[in-house]
């Protein structure tokens, strides 16, 4: 016999599932899915499709058409908003539709939310249920970038690298193309399309002259390109680099230190490059300064692609939230071959960063190891 709890669980799981369809399209807004049901059967569902478009709750109400929603239950993956942003408050739409019950998978930690929407609905006589358990956990994981940005003002950081079986990311001469296979590189381009920015250091920019764009060979094509960010303390990025030549089409930010020559930064800005000055007494401090400024500019997530020097500085700063490593069936050897992470590191195993979760899957000829380091 189907119970009330079973029905709630089924519809809420569906709301979380369809929320995923907005990935890479709605930032800095969160991913949200919604289902409306009257009895056991769903009568409308929707998700947040793009920034500035109606939210999931409104999409679900519209999908229900002319059906009477009085007494219906709304299942939503994130607490409904109660403030006027690019769209009106969802709490208004819920009340106007006559929905009697709202089941929510996760809270919204934003300053303008934090339970306010749920309180407004309760005050208006709507029954509100905030679930816990595995569905709540899934809903929170859905929006780690949004949650970190809401709580700290800094973007969520995904560190991606490709290494050999002996843990190397480049040969002694610096050659790294290509350690990972085509399937792995295609997956990485999807991650670029999903993140607000892709970040490299000046060493990578000088060695590879990359574009850092999301180039997808299988549909759907990238709906937007990430901002390209180069950490370049002395402003050494050449004006004829592909990144600079393309800066007026796809945004490029160069992060410099106070030691960067004014002539170099002025020349970059004259070519359409956004230059920000990171302050602090050491590299980890300057990483935090840069992330503060990127977060203030609306960047909610970054894909950190290295190289090892910059990745080590991010780790030392405590600003790596998730790690995805492609392990290729290659062995390089060489005492001076590059490791994926440099920086200061820790002196004791007890002080090592420990992953909260660890997953592994086959991607072409490679293994993809994914580890969440923090949960927001």
Active site (catalytic) residues:
57
- Say if CB 210 and CB 250 are below 8 A apart: no
Q: Which residue from 83, 89, 104, 91 is spatially nearest to 35, judged by alpha carbons? A: 104
> Two tokens at 51?
């920034």
**Alpha carbons 217 and 189: distance in angstroms, whole number:** 9
* Residue ranges with strand state E in 123-232: 127-130, 156-163, 197-201, 227-231
In our burial notation (b when 16+ CB lie closer than 10 A, e otherwise), range 265-275 reads bebbeebebeb
Q: How many Å apart are CA 91 and CA 332, to the nearest integer? A: 58
Burial class (CB in 10 A: 0-12, 13-18, 19+), 100: middle
The encoded tokens of residue 216 equal 């997808």
């Amino acid at each position: 016999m189907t119970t009330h709890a079973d029905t709630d669980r089924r519809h809420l799981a569906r709301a979380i599932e369809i929320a995923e369809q907005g990935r890479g399209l709605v930032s800095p807004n969160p991913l949200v899915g919604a289902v409306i049901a009257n009895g056991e059967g769903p009568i409308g569902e929707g998700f947040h499709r793009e920034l500035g478009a109606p939210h999931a709750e409104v999409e679900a109400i519209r999908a229900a058409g002319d059906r009477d929603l009085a007494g219906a239950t709304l299942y939503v993956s994130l607490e409904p908003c109660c403030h006027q942003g690019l769209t009106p408050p969802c709490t208004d739409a819920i009340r106007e539709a006559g929905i009697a019950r709202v089941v929510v998978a996760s809270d919204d930690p934003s300053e303008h939310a934090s339970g306010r929407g749920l309180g407004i609905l309760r005050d208006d006589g709507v029954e509100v249920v905030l679930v816990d358990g595995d569905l709540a956990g899934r809903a929170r994981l859905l929006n780690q970038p949004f949650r970190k940005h809401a709580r700290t003002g800094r973007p969520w950081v995904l560190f991606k690298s490709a290494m050999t079986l002996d843990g190397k990311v480049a040969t002694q001469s610096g050659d790294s193309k290509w350690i990972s296979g085509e399937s792995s590189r295609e997956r990485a381009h999807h991650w670029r399309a999903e993140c607000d920015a892709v970040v490299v250091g000046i060493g990578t920019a000088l060695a590879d002259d990359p574009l850092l764009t999301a180039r997808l060979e299988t549909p759907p094509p990238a709906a937007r390109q990430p901002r390209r960010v180069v950490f370049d303390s002395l402003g050494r990025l050449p004006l004829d680099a592909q990144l600079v030549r393309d800066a007026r089409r796809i945004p490029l930010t160069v992060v410099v230190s106070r030691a960067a020559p004014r002539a170099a930064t002025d020349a970059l800005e004259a070519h359409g490059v956004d230059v920000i000055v990171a302050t602090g007494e050491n590299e980890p401090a300057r990483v935090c300064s840069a992330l503060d400024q990127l977060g203030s500019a609306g960047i909610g997530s970054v894909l950190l692609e290295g190289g090892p020097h910059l990745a080590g500085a991010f780790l030392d700063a405590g600003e790596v939230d998730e790690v995805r490593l492609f392990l290729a069936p290659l062995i390089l050897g060489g005492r001076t071959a590059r490791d994926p992470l440099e920086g200061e590191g820790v002196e004791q195993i007890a002080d090592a960063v420990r992953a909260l979760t660890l997953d592994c899957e086959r991607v072409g000829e490679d293994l993809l190891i994914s580890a969440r380091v923090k949960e927001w």
